[in-house]
Amino acid sequence: MSSVILHEVGPRDGLQFEKEIVPTARKLQWLRAVIAAGVDILQVGSFVRADRVPQMADSEELFRALATEKRGKTILSALALNSKGLDRALRAGAEMICMGVSASDTHSRKNTGKSTSEAQKEILEMGRHALAAGVRVQVAVQSAFGCGFEGRISEERVMRVVRAFADNGLINISLADTAGHAYPQQVTRLFGEVFRLVPGARCTCHVHDNYGLGIANIYAAMAAGVTTFETSFAGLGGCPFTKEAAGNVATEDLVYALQRAGLRAEVDLEQLIEVARDVGSFFGRRMTGRVQQIGPLPY
């Protein structure tokens, strides 16, 4: 747990589900605050079609603005779902490219318009291209713990995608709980299998909180050896192309839990809480994150 890496995905996974468009200036305010708080990786946006995900239409502009600013150690990441999106992300200056393949054929078709096998072929090509371009690459198995359309997803299907990633030199691997179906024992088991299958893998855990098991699933992943965790400010989030979308684990909640354990004390929790509260103020509703609602204990 001493090496926990925080990947803030609120600006992408959090906002993509929202119908009310956030002005670019407000987004930049949140992005800069999260950078100042000391997160390790910040997912600025995704390079997808603006007519399908209009909240992401200003991704290039956000990268251009942040590229000229000092930001310490924070790595700027982006999501790309196809080769055109990858080219846009590289031109924009993304330092880390995230891409994925859904283990659910139904979700894959709704999310990308391609079957799992078709999407996998393109993602493998993209991954090799991005590595050759000298940027960090993270590949994900989406719907790894279940699917809102298909229900249970066989672990063998998940591991086939993992094996294809590894065979192409892509060992920074995320398992994503797109539909929010994961439970702790399953999380430990699946990540354990990834580490057995791909010695030296660097694994990321991305869980949603549909059934209130988000933090428990993160701790189960830690127990299996996972070091990187994707969370969203205020608990925003959800895939707009899944059947049962729900929010992510709130970044401020995870940081609070870590700091109670004596970890990541250098991260500015109060700053993250301020961002979460401002997000709630913008959308005019109560956010799902717990710590921003009642404040951290004073010790």
The set of catalytic residues is 239
Q: Is the separation of the CB atoms in 45 and 62 below 8 Å?
A: yes
Per-residue burial over 9-48, b if 16 or more Cβ lie within 10 Å, else e, is bbbbbbbbbbeeebeeeebbebbbbbbebbbbbbbbbbbb
Taking CA atoms, 91 is separated from 28, 59, 64, 130, in Å, by: 19, 11, 10, 12
- Find, among 103, 115, 100, 106, the residue nearest to 144 by Cα: 103
Instruction: Tell me how far apart the alpha carbons of residues 145 and 109 are, in angstroms, rounded to a whole number.
Output: 18
A 10 A CB-CB count for 57 gives 15
A 10 A CB-CB count for 176 gives 24
Instruction: Tell me how far apart the alpha carbons of residues 257 and 69 are, in angstroms, rounded to a whole number.
Output: 30
Instruction: Tell me how far apart the alpha carbons of residues 252 and 174 are, in angstroms, rounded to a whole number.
Output: 21
